[in-house]
Amino acid sequence: MTRRAWAFDIAFAALLGVVMTAVVTLFPGSITGTLLGIGRVGAVVCVVVSAVVLAFRRVAPLAVTVGVALVSVVLPGSWFAYAALYAAGAYARRRWTLWLLAPLVVGLSFVGQRGWVAPRFNDHAFLLFVASLVTLAGLYVGSRREAIAGAVERADRAEREQELLAEQARADERVRLAGEMHDIVTHRINLMVLQAGALAVRSDDPAVHDAAEDLRGAGVQALAELRDLVGVLRAGRTAGSVAADVPAAELDGLVEESRRVGVDVALEVTGDPTVPAPTVRRTLHRVVQEALTNARKHAPGAAVRVGVRHEDGRVSATITNGPGGAAHDATGGGAGLDGLRRRVGLVGGTFEAGRTDDGGFRVAAVLPDDVPTGAA
């Protein structure tokens, strides 16, 4: 029960108690000639007891009705009995018992009034009618409440089904996109890789040969990333869970690539780089790769420092570059950084990116060593 329901029941029981106290006090003839001559004080005590019991009419409606009905032997004509009958009809689960409680209330009132001394069958028939009427009213209210609750439950179920259908539609769309990416983009990149390889084999110029090899390596890496993304779209798995593992020494390759294009990069690795799980190593690889790419684009000519620490069951990566020839977005709101933030969050890590005091830029990520590969 809610606090509002408790407050209403207590207020209703108290109000009915005040009214019944006034009746037995101002009209003492209503309690004279009863089975037990309890007097005004006894009648007031019965009213107080009935009011306290009636306050629990929603918690135990049948027990409250029986208890108030028993008080009717001492205090016949009590209005508490009819209020309890209504509550039993509205809140009780075993409602078939109500057709036994209504005659019980009237019968106990008949005993309390010593109805056999001066039989007034019309009066008792009227009381039975009133008891039946309040019982029917309670049954109607209870049935209506159940119907509303059932309608709400069906609406909730329909909403959940709609969400499931929408999720299924999104999954189907992911599979369709994965198929198109695989059929179109992968085919084109494969052609680029093959053409770059052919150019490297046929060319006698060392510079052209090296450039073609770099192009072919970039295409192979793009294919690996594309297979990773296609797997995510098809299976809905965590990013990095389907592609091949990244060797721990691959960070050296990223640094060497940047150095070959003229970027001053320094790499410092502490701890054992083979400890993290494959998914974590791949995520770390993407963080460093994206940070170096951003440094080349947004801060050309700036020195870059890459620090990776493996300790205490986690790996921390910090990539910092000084101010270069172009201003970096202080918020780190680029698509690449947003993608990194989501990717790091998928493996349970934290990600930060922002401007440094000297006008440069800093990217920091903290990843756990062990993340279940392929977690949904």
**Whole-number Å distance between alpha carbons of 95 and 92:** 6
Q: What is the pLDDT of residues 121-132, one digit of tens each?
A: 666 677 777 777
Predicted confidence (pLDDT) at residue 272 exceeds the cutoff of 60:
yes
The angle, 0 to 180 degrees and rounded to 10, between the axes of the packed helices 121-180 and 98-112 is 150
For residue 374 the two structure tokens come to 């392929």
**Whole-number Å distance between alpha carbons of 254 and 297:** 15
Q: What is the pLDDT of residues 72-103, one digit of tens each?
A: 777 776 778 878 888 887 887 776 676 677 77
CATH topology of domain 250-368: Heat Shock Protein 90 (3.30.565)
Domain locations along the chain? 3-119, 250-368
Q: What is the pTM of this model?
A: 0.40
Specify the higher pLDDT residue, 179 or 300. Answer: 300
Please list, residue by residue across 361-376, b when 16 or more beta carbons sit within 10 angstroms of its beta carbon and e when fewer do.
bbbbbbbebebebeee
Q: What is the pLDDT of residues 232-248, one digit of tens each?
A: 666 554 444 444 455 55
Helices (H), 261-346: 278-298, 335-346
**What pLDDT does residue 45 have?**
83
Answer whether 361's CB lies under 8 Å from 295's CB.
yes
Strand order in the sheet with 361-368: 265-270, 304-311, 314-321, 361-368, 350-355
| Most confident segment among 31-40, 326-335, 354-363 | 354-363
Burial of 141 (0-12, 13-18, 19+ CB in 10 A): middle
